[in-house]
Structure 1
């Protein structure tokens, strides 16, 4: 029995009851009511496709389904989201304070319990309290890698676990998890994101770009990177754009596409100046000088001059 799938069925059944729809009416054209009861009892696990069929029959979107599933633990989710962002931004002392304080574990939905476990594993691995093999063992307790690869729809916690696993594997030149991530990110239909969680995915595009760069897979990098830039602009997630522009510039430079690289050096610095702290801007400036052996402010100035000429044409 998959407890997450059973929780999906409990939530689905509650929606059915609220809409005053009988099991027979809901199952008509989808499956027999005996199968539905097996899903609800946990004897059989409901598939993603079957879940979407029931949602359509109930007149709700998959986004509405997952959103209402998770809205009950909004306070703890917001705290979890803060914890996640602190870890992503390497503010580990603040993250430790939240972890030490703890959560009302019984109040969390199953998905958010998984997010909490991810944050703990990521924290302990980054702080070197877990070695790579120990972190992989902990990940395996929360996600069946082989079975998860067969899924047709992935939630954002699946993606986060794949990301951490990919980062560990890449150090030994293994790419199973990374390739699965690429497959998911290449096809948005594979990825379910409720509205309040879309920003959590934005840094993953830049992290995957960085890993592809380390493997010299520059063409794959440019494809994923382009999708990430499009995603961030569409959803107004400016913070992740700096790193995406920076990694794209480096890939283009490695491919000797120097004029294109300069464009993204300029965009990276410009975006950072508009939203980041002086300390972050200084750090980016030093990294750009190291990577490209040129003054990024001169590149930015030349970029603005070209744009001015284009506008005045």
Structure 2
């Protein structure tokens, strides 16, 4: 695949994420047929056309070109593997990589940003740097403007928010929340939608920790919409639970019960008994015995319905 085809495909990903039709994106730039030829590689897309597409999508041209090509690079794949090691708390993998690559250089700035985020998080984890320095280092990795945000930006914002919330600070949490409530502002998240779904979960949890239940509810509701749109079902039980938890704390018990039934119906359909047991225990702890008993009865009805269907 040649370079301009990569550009065209990433432009199309952005078009889809922003909810634009091909005709809407191409209006004033090219016809639909030419656009399809750009995507298939049958026609090279000129740089001035890329600039016009970026303008319409609200993106800086240089940043788009750099980020697009960085994701196809070998160095990106190496750093992205490190990111997943960090997610799994496999700190030895990161430690070994850092030790073997003391003078590592990056061709693409976005890869350097992701690596700096990972290495700073590792240093914070092993207490080589302390909280204030860690937070400032992460803030320095963010762009000056966050009218739109890349994958790197939102995962950095989440990490800053997690720490700030412990001090009842919501500066970066509110920035991240605004971006997630308007996912058209996110770009270059393709193949990372599962991470974004989990961000919705975590941001909702952050707000609930602060007892900001309206905000917690709104972002969990948006997270369900995002997850369903992008076929990311793993985060759904936690998002439904958070909807129920926030509604319960806002005094809306009937609505909370409805969300719990959605959650348990979803989990039941996956046949994950350990997850059922986990959320039942959580309901008992956070909603009380009465609602716990109602959910147990609901699951018994699901069992009865399922067994009747099998017999038929």
Task: Give TM-score, length-normalised by structure 1.
Answer: 0.67
Counterpart for residue 205 of structure 2: 210
Structure-to-structure mapping, 1:88-127, within 5 angstroms: 92=89, 95-102=90-97, 105-106=104-105, 109-125=108-124
1:297 and 1:189 mapped to 2: Cα distance?
41
Question: Which 4+ stretches in 1 moved above 6 angstroms?
Answer: none
Structure-to-structure mapping, 1:1-313, within 5 angstroms: 19=44, 21=46, 26=48, 49=58, 51=60, 66-73=67-74, 75-86=77-88, 92=89, 95-102=90-97, 105-106=104-105, 109-125=108-124, 130-143=129-142, 147=144, 150-272=145-267, 281-294=276-289, 296=292, 298-299=294-295, 301-302=297-298
1:142 and 1:282 mapped to 2: Cα distance?
41
CA deviation map 1:116-170 (0-9, x unaligned): 33234444545666543132122134225xx2xx332210111111111112222
Distance 1:162 1:130, change over 3 A: same
CA deviation map 1:200-228 (0-9, x unaligned): 21111111101111222222222111110
SS of 1:196's partner is coil
RMSD of aligned C-alpha atoms? 4.0
Distance 1:80 1:280, change over 3 A: farther
Distance 1:118 1:255, change over 3 A: same
CA deviation map 1:81-121 (0-9, x unaligned): 522431xxxxx2xx113212317644674323322332344
Which sections of structure 1, spanning at least 5 residues, go unmatched? 1-7, 9-17, 31-45, 56-61, 87-91, 309-313
Shift of 1:232: 1.0
